[in-house]
């Protein structure tokens, strides 16, 4: 069942500082100019959902997201993920 009104589930954190970054950090790996010692202000922003318990049987969970870092010299990250879940009877 497609989710309607996805924006109702969007959450943004307060401003926080990350760093200092180490050398060979993940941003450098993706080509972003972030040398060791870099400290920067940041926020976390995304859609967060919690599902009700699923009924027994097979279920498919699919989501997609993208982050464009080209404005700071980085790449565009894209995720397109599908989980195939099987819920079986459990022990209480």
pLDDT tens digits for range 29-88: 888 889 999 999 999 988 888 888 999 999 999 988 888 888 888 888 899 999 999 999
75 phi and psi, to 5 degrees?
-85, 180
Burial per residue of 36-50, b for 16 or more beta-carbon CB atoms within 10 angstroms, e otherwise: eebeeeeeeeeeeee
Say how many domains are in the chain.
1
* CA–CA separation, 67 and 20 (whole Å): 22
pLDDT value at residue 20: 97
Going by pLDDT thresholds of 50, 70 and 90, the confidence category of residue 7 is confident
Is residue 1, in this structure, part of any structural domain at all? no
* Dihedral angle computed from the Cα positions of residues 63, 68, 74 and 80, in that order, rounded to the nearest 10 degrees: 20
Is residue 72, in this structure, part of any structural domain at all? yes
Is residue 74, in this structure, part of any structural domain at all? yes
**pTM (2 decimals)?**
0.56
**What is the extent of the structural domain holding 73?**
6-87
Is residue 52, in this structure, part of any structural domain at all? yes
Is residue 92, in this structure, part of any structural domain at all? no
Is residue 27, in this structure, part of any structural domain at all? yes
Is residue 42, in this structure, part of any structural domain at all? yes
């Amino acid at each position: 069942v497609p989710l309607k009104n996805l924006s109702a589930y969007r959450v943004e954190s307060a401003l926080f500082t990350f760093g200092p970054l180490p050398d060979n950090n993940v941003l450098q790996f993706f080509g972003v100019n972030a040398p060791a010692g870099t400290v920067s202000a940041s926020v976390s922003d995304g859609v967060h959902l919690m599902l009700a318990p699923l009924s027994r049987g097979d279920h498919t969970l699919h989501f997609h997201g993208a982050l464009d870092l080209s404005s700071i010299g980085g790449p565009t990250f894209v995720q397109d993920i599908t989980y195939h879940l099987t819920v079986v009877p459990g022990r209480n």
